[in-house]
A and B are shown apart, each in its own frame.
Chain A
Amino acid sequence: GSNPDEVLSLPGLAVQPKFKHYSGYLKASGTKKLHYWFVESQFEPETDPVVLWMNGGPGCSSLDGLLSELGPFHLRDDGKTVYMNPYSWNNAANVIFLEAPAGVGFSYSDDKNYTTDDDQVSMDNYLALQDFFTKFPQFSKNPFFVTGESYGGVYVPTLSMRILEGNATINMQGFAVGNGLSSYALNDNSLMYFGYYHGLFGTDLWSQLQCYCCNASYCNFHDNAQPQCSLVVGEAMNIVYNIGLDIYNLYDDCAGGIPPHATVFKVAMSNLFRNYKIKYTPLIKKPPKLR
């Protein structure tokens, strides 16, 4: 039968796709409604796996995953024209893009309370997933996978735990995490080695990092109590983060060029070196006002 969530005509797309896709809301706890965009598989939706995809943040939208990464619909620079992505993951699976938690993208809560935590998010995602299979019972027997990237490194395993421990009928097979946050300590500590061995830090800075942050067997850059260590880690992070390198892709251009003076990127930085108050120094100083 007809589904009110089915997208019948997507603006900007010259020819509508042969596969069906749906956009609407899934119920979570309280008054929260999570927006989803579900694209059926291009080949055998009846039997292909169902895959849930979640971008990270925390607080960033999974529609970026759909429109810029693994989804079938990609956008031209004009923001009006849609073209088909030949490498969309719905070549092999039915894919749900879920905007979570409430307050992200088109997801919302009637009470406008957007304070949340990892446990609440995993429960809300689990409830939304159950609502999805209530809306689409024909997919409940398909193999199911949870996937995501970045802070999805937290969302994905915590939701998988809910599925494992819950009693919902979900044919859960596995999960995948891409460039995920799995451990703050390991992510911070490894980044210093990554930076040095990619030639971002000179010998002087590397020597100071080792001198102030390491003992004979172990380096702790992550939460070292030595004030000198936090200072040199700050210097290293200034290079990684604040001089115009693309933190998400070392060898790509930074869109928009070197960040303007005193720009603070709260979302990106919130996952790195959270134990220190790092003061970033801009590479290009703000020019004095000319008269």
Chain B
Amino acid sequence: VTPPCVNVTSSLIYLNNPDVRKALHIPTSVQDWDICSGVVGAQYVRKYQTLYNQYQTLVKHYRIMVYNGDIDMACNFLGDEWFVESLKLDKSGDRREWVSNKQIAGFVQDYTNVTLVTIKGAGHMVPQDKPAQALKMFTAFIKNTP
């Protein structure tokens, strides 16, 4: 059940080291750590085909950021862009580039209470692929700055 093209060997070695488990207060009776659980995944019941209704409610109360590394194919940026557009929120300003380290880091579109961001050249795991850009984006979001 390890996702394809992902190397988790170092995490497997580290987290299954008895000294590490002890430091993290994991009882010896608890199962070995693995990146994904086949047991959980196989029995999992999905109840929502779309999160449209949840977003329609939540956008009235909370600040939301939807971001996408733009070369991921598992959950690609275009699908999430279409999803945010389907909410039919008012746009504030034009779609624009955003910059990190004097380079265009991606593109951003603001809506009422929602910010839609792409991170150029990042895949599914954005903070792993573009760590500096991810931190800048995250910090701007929690501080509510552009």
Chain A positions near chain B (C-beta within 8 angstroms): 4-5, 7-12, 23-25, 35, 37, 49, 51, 57-61, 63-65, 67-70, 75-80, 82, 85-89, 91-93, 101-106, 108, 114-119, 143, 145, 147, 149-150, 153-154, 157-158, 160-161, 164, 172-191, 193-195, 240-241, 245-256, 259, 263, 265-268, 270-272
Contacts and interface: CB of A to CB of B under 8 A. Distances in A.
Interface in B89-146: 121-129, 131-132, 134-135, 138-139, 141-143
Given A59-B36, A69-B125, A114-B39, A79 B9 contact: yes
26 contacts: A12-B20, A23-B24, A60-B3, A60-B35, A69-B126, A104-B37, A106-B26, A116-B40, A116-B43, A116-B45, A118-B47, A143-B142, A145-B141, A172-B62, A174-B65, A175-B58, A176-B67, A178-B69, A179-B67, A186-B86, A187-B76, A248-B3, A249-B72, A252-B123, A253-B5, A267-B3
Contact of B13 (A69, A80, A115, A173): A80
B79 A191 contact: yes
A69 B125 CA distance: 7
B39 A4 contact: no
A174 B62 contact: yes
B43 A183 contact: no
Contact of A195 (B11, B72, B73): B73
**A-B pairs with the 3 shortest C-beta distances?**
A79-B13, A249-B123, A174-B63
Contacts of B24: 7, 23, 37, 106
Nearest to B54: A157
A271 B21 CA distance: 31
Contacts, number: 351
Given A174-B62, A250-B123, A191 B37 contact: no
Contact of B75 (A9, A105, A153, A245): A153
Interface of B: 1-15, 17, 19-21, 23-26, 30-31, 33-52, 54-55, 57-58, 61-69, 71-83, 86, 121-129, 131-132, 134-135, 138-139, 141-143
Nearest to B4: A265
Nearest to B135: A87
B33 A63 contact: yes
A119 to B, nearest CB: 6
Contacts of B72: 179, 247-250
A191 B39 contact: no
Contacts of A143: 142
B50 A58 contact: no
B51 A157 contact: yes
A49 B144 CA distance: 12
Given A68-B11, A79-B11, A249-B123, A186 B83 contact: yes
Given A10-B23, A174-B63, 11 more contacts: A59-B36, A59-B39, A61-B36, A63-B33, A82-B14, A104-B37, A154-B48, A174-B65, A179-B67, A252-B129, A263-B4
